[in-house]
Amino acid sequence: MSNEVWALVVEDDAHNLIAITSLLKELDIRYKRNTTGAKVAEQIDSMHPRPAFVLLDMDLPEGDAISIAQEIRRNPYTAHIPVVAISEQFTNRFRQRHRDLGFTAFLLKPLPRNDFKEIVANLIGTDPTSQEPKHQ
């Protein structure tokens, strides 16, 4: 994958943050972090290049993940950025409600390595088995 792919990781748990950033490094994806959930939309606006996707923990100390996702969707400059919800539990009802609120995909903690890589590959348009761009 190209070094030009960026992600924003919004996660307050140190262990999860280490796991996520380790997986991103394996995929050769650069990232910025936000460990509180505060001012996520402003952080995205200030990133150049903008992130290809956002990994958003659903349980943050200084931010409501649903409000953050909605704020990203309301901004015409960030509305296209996929937002992946990360949580310890997802029900089918939860997934549908959160898709309606603007979440693109869902990852369970602890992060399953293959699921993570497959979701990220789909978000940035690469083949998860080869890490090369998919041919159109």
Could you give the CA distance from residue 45 to residue 59 in angstroms, rounded to a whole number?
Answer: 22
**pTM of this structure:** 0.87
Q: Does residue 130 have a pLDDT over 70?
A: no
Could you give the CA distance from residue 61 to residue 116 in angstroms, rounded to a whole number?
Answer: 24
69: closest CA among 92, 105, 108, 101? 101
The sign of the dihedral angle between the CA atoms of 118, 124, 125, 130 is negative
Judged by average pLDDT, the poorest of 13-17, 70-74, 101-105 is: 101-105
7: closest CA among 65, 64, 50, 42? 50
Judged by average pLDDT, the poorest of 16-25, 27-36, 90-99, 112-121 is: 90-99
Which pLDDT tens digit goes with each residue over 90-99?
Answer: 777 777 788 8
Could you give the CA distance from residue 60 to residue 107 in angstroms, rounded to a whole number?
Answer: 16
Which pLDDT tens digit goes with each residue over 2-15?
Answer: 458 999 999 999 99
